[in-house]
């Protein structure tokens, strides 16, 4: 983190780069700009909400700080771990205190078997022994080991995760193992989710001849999704699959915002960007005029604009906002990209955090929690909850002697039942289902409902091809790039990488060469 603050020495003619959106992608873009932009560049983050960090958020609940969205990030991907190192947070990383999870299948909790690659078995016997599959499901999956399959390594087409797994291993593996994991990560159904975008090792394995189960034991190419955890060396503990931070994962955007402010980056909350107009390209001024709404008066350099809006002239823009908002801003400048972005659908989810007095849960809370396949019944009805995390088992720093801390998730693409309930009704419905899974002697002492509307973009087959089309169209605009979960991954590492790549793209557009990072 060497080098002067780009924002600290800016003059009236200094270039201005605006980052629209203050979620993890936007903050990461601003950080990359702060590290690599030419001295004097002014960097401005414009966030419509009341706080930076987007969907990485925490709340004070039951006397402690708990994450109410993502509570961890993948350890093996370098984007988030590298950012922690740059922020001086390497020693603040904490690994889960428990391992393993269960599935609510066939009327009971069953431990997830060893050797799964995002739900796809890579070892037969642990899956058979788990009882998750019925006898027919076991036989159908076993056919993969003995039935010849001729792959096509030259095939470049995308397919859905459900199509690949279902055709090779049968519908029970899809419904009871793969959908809860892959579908749960994306709050969607694997029958509609792109393998290329969500599980690239699966698509690569499907293009090989022979057994899918065997092929996934040694994925042919690395991808952003994890396969089976490699065994540890004798006498060593296995490396963590996930990290959080001391104080919660939401500490990451908070620390990042603080570091940005120290480098002179201005982060404005309560400021929405409602329009983006291209200015005359005569070399005499900034390229883009952003129409601002909200608390625009505090934005340095903003002037009065049409219809009572403020306006900010900038040389470059990173659009780190949801696809629909980006589509609206790009409609007049990159209509093809805007059309593709407008077609990306989103799923909404709700998180219910509960504090249950010690002894209320009379059955064992083993592992980190459980997932509920969409085809499972709870209490004889289609399941409402999609999963549960035993927060104080997963993160022992949250443990207290007088309660158990649980977090339950509700909602996936196409399921709008949570929208019809107020918070009290939602908590009652969730607790009723939890009581069917675990033996409860009473209700929660406290509850917290956090609703995430439009939280998860749905990656349909062909998504990466459409994403490339968007990125190419936007790259033709001077000093503009897009970033966020709508493009190449929904996890924290993916959106951090997306933001940093977008920052490098706009700087290259401005200066004609890729920027060099100071001190690197």
Superfamily (CATH H level) for 116-215: protoporphyrinogen ix oxidase, domain 3 (1.10.3110.10)
Q: Residue 430, Cα to own-chain centre: how many angstroms?
A: 24
Inter-axis angle of helices 78-86 and 492-511, nearest 10: 70
pLDDT exceeding 90 applies to what percent of the chain?
A: 84
* DSSP strand pairing (116-117 vs 120-121): antiparallel
Question: Could you tell me which of 484, 455, 458 has the C-alpha nearest to residue 57?
Answer: 455
Q: How far apart are CA 49 and CA 321, in angstroms?
A: 11
- With CA atoms as reference, report the closest residue to 252 among 454, 31, 452: 31
Is residue 72 within 8 Å of 244, Cβ to Cβ?
yes
Tokens representing residue 456 in the block: 């998860």
Question: Are 65 and 58 in contact, with CB atoms under 8 Å apart?
Answer: yes
Is residue 502 within 8 A of residue 495, CB to CB? The reply is no
Helix, strand, coil shares, percent, the chain, to 5: 35, 25, 40
In whole angstroms, what is the distance from residue 89 CA to residue 98 CA?
A: 22
Residue 278 in this model has a pLDDT that exceeds 70: yes
d(CA 243, CA 73): 5
Q: Over range 288-317, report the average pLDDT.
A: 85
For 61-102, what is each residue's pLDDT tens digit? 999 999 999 999 999 999 999 999 999 999 999 999 999 999
C-alpha dihedral, 29 to 35 to 37 to 43, nearest 10°? 50
For 396-431, write each residue's pLDDT tens digit.
999 999 999 999 999 999 999 999 999 999 999 999
279 band by pLDDT with thresholds 50, 70 and 90: confident
The domain spans of the chain are: 16-55+250-344+459-511, 72-98+346-457, 116-215
CA dihedral over 394, 399, 401, 402, signed as positive or negative: negative
What count of residues does the chain have? 520
Question: To which residue do tokens 């291993």 refer?
Answer: 169
The pLDDT, as a whole number, for residue 14 is 80
Mean pLDDT for the stretch of residues 2-7 = 42
Taking a C-beta distance cutoff of 8 angstroms, is the pair 507, 475 a contact? no
Residue 371, classed as helix, strand or coil, is strand
Task: Tell me which H or E stretch contains 46.
Answer: strand 42-47
Running DSSP on this structure, what letter comes out for residue 270? S
- Cα separation of 309 and 289, whole Å? 12
* Residues in Cβ contact with 78 at an 8 Å cutoff, skipping those fewer than 6 apart: 493
Give residue for tokens 């924002």. Answer: 7
pLDDT, tens digit (0-9, with 9 covering 90-100), for 351-400: 999 999 999 999 999 999 999 999 999 999 999 999 999 999 999 999 99
Q: d(Cα 352, Cα 421) in Å, to the nearest integer?
A: 13
Residues 45 and 26 sit within 8 Å (Cβ to Cβ): yes
pLDDT at residue 218, rounded to an integer: 78
Burial of 440 (0-12, 13-18, 19+ CB in 10 A): middle
C-alpha to C-alpha distances, 463 to 121, 345, 370, 410, 473, nearest whole angstrom: 26, 12, 29, 25, 15
Q: How far is it, in rounded angstroms, from Cα 377 to Cα 372? A: 9
What three-state secondary structure class fits 338? helix
pLDDT score of 520: 41
Q: 215 falls in which pLDDT band (50, 70, 90)?
A: very high
CATH number of 72-98+346-457: 3.90.660.20
Q: For residue 8, what pLDDT is reported?
A: 47
How far is residue 326's CA from residue 439's CA, in Å, rounded to a whole number? 47
Place 107 in a pLDDT band, splitting at 50, 70 and 90. very high
> Per-residue pLDDT tens for 462-511?
999 999 999 999 999 999 999 999 999 999 999 999 999 999 999 998 88
pLDDT digits (tens, 9 = 90+) for 216-256: 987 654 444 444 444 545 556 678 999 999 999 999 999 99
Per-residue pLDDT tens over the stretch 142-196: 999 999 899 988 899 999 999 999 999 999 999 999 999 999 999 999 999 999 9
Give percent of the chain with pLDDT exceeding 70: 91
- Cross-strand bridge partners of residue 116: 121
Q: What's the longest Cα–Cα distance across the chain?
A: 74
What is the four-CA torsion angle of 206, 211, 217, 222, rounded to 10 degrees? -20
Select from 3.50.50.60, 3.30.750.24, 3.30.70.240, 3.40.190.10 the CATH code of 16-55+250-344+459-511.
Answer: 3.50.50.60
Q: Which residues contact 244 (CB under 8 A, 6 or more apart)?
A: 67, 71, 72, 73, 93, 94, 95, 96, 395
Q: What is the pLDDT of residue 341?
A: 98
d(CA 357, CA 492): 32
Torsion over CA of 105, 108, 114 and 119, rounded to 10 degrees? 20
Q: What is the pLDDT of residues 114-142, one digit of tens each?
A: 999 999 999 999 999 999 999 999 999 99
For residues 13-28, average pLDDT:
94
Select the more confidently predicted residue: 86 or 286: 86
């Amino acid at each position: 983190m060497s080098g002067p603050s780009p924002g600290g020495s800016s003059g009236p003619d200094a270039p201005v780069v605006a980052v629209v959106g203050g979620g993890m992608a936007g903050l990461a873009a601003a950080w990359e700009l702060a590290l690599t932009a030419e001295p004097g560049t002014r960097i401005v983050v414009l966030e419509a909400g009341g706080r930076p960090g987007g969907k990485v958020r925490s709340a004070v609940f039951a006397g402690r700080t708990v994450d109410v969205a993502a509570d961890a990030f993948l350890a093996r991907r370098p984007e988030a771990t590298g950012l922690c190192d740059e922020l001086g947070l390497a020693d603040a990383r904490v690994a889960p205190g428990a391992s393993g999870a269960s599935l609510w299948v066939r009327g009971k909790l069953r431990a997830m078997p060893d050797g799964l690659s995002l739900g796809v078995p890579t070892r037969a016997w642990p899956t058979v022994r788990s009882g998750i599959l019925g006898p027919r499901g076991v036989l159908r999956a076993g056919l993969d080991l003995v039935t010849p399959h001729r792959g096509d390594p030259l095939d470049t087409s995308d397919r859905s995760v459900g199509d690949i797994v279902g055709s090779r291993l049968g519908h029970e593996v899809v419904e009871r193992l793969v959908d809860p994991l892959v579908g749960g990560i994306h709050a969607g159904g694997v029958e509609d989710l792109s393998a290329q975008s969500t599980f690239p090792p699966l698509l690569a394995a499907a293009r090989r001849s022979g057994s899918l189960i065997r092929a996934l034991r040694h994925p042919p190419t690395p991808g952003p999704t994890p396969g089976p955890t490699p065994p540890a060396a004798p006498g060593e503990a296995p490396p963590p699959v996930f990290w959080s931070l001391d104080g919660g994962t939401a500490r990451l955007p908070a620390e990042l915002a603080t570091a940005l402010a120290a480098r002179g980056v201005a982060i404005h909350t309560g400021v929405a960007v409602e329009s983006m107009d291209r200015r005359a390209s005569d070399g005499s001024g900034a390229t883009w005029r952003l129409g601002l709404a909200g608390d625009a008066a505090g934005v340095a350099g903003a002037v009065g604009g049409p219809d009572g809006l403020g306006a900010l002239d900038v040389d470059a823009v990173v659009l780190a906002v949801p696809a629909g908002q980006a589509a609206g801003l790009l409609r007049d400048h990159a209509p093809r990209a805007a059309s593709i972005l407008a077609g990306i659908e989103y799923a909404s989810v709700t998180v219910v955090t509960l504090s249950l007095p010690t002894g209320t849960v009379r059955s064992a809370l083993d592992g980190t929690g459980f997932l509920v396949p969409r085809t499972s019944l709870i209490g004889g009805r289609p399941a409402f909850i999609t999963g549960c995390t035993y927060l104080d088992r997963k993160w022992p720093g949250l443990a207290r002697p007088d309660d158990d801390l649980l977090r339950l998730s509700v909602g996936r693409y196409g399921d709008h039942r949570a929208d019809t309930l107020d918070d009290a009704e939602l908590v009652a419905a969730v607790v009723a289902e939890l009581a069917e899974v675990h033996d409860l002697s009473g209700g929660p002492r406290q509850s917290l409902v956090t609703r995430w509307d439009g939280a998860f973009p749905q990656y349909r087959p062909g998504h990466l091809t459409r994403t490339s089309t968007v990125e190419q169209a936007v790259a033709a605009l001077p000093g503009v790039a897009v970033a966020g979960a709508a493009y190449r991954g929904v996890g924290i590492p993916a959106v951090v990488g997306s933001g940093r790549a977008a920052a490098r793209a706009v700087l290259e557009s401005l200066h004609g060469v890729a920027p060099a990072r100071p001190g690197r």
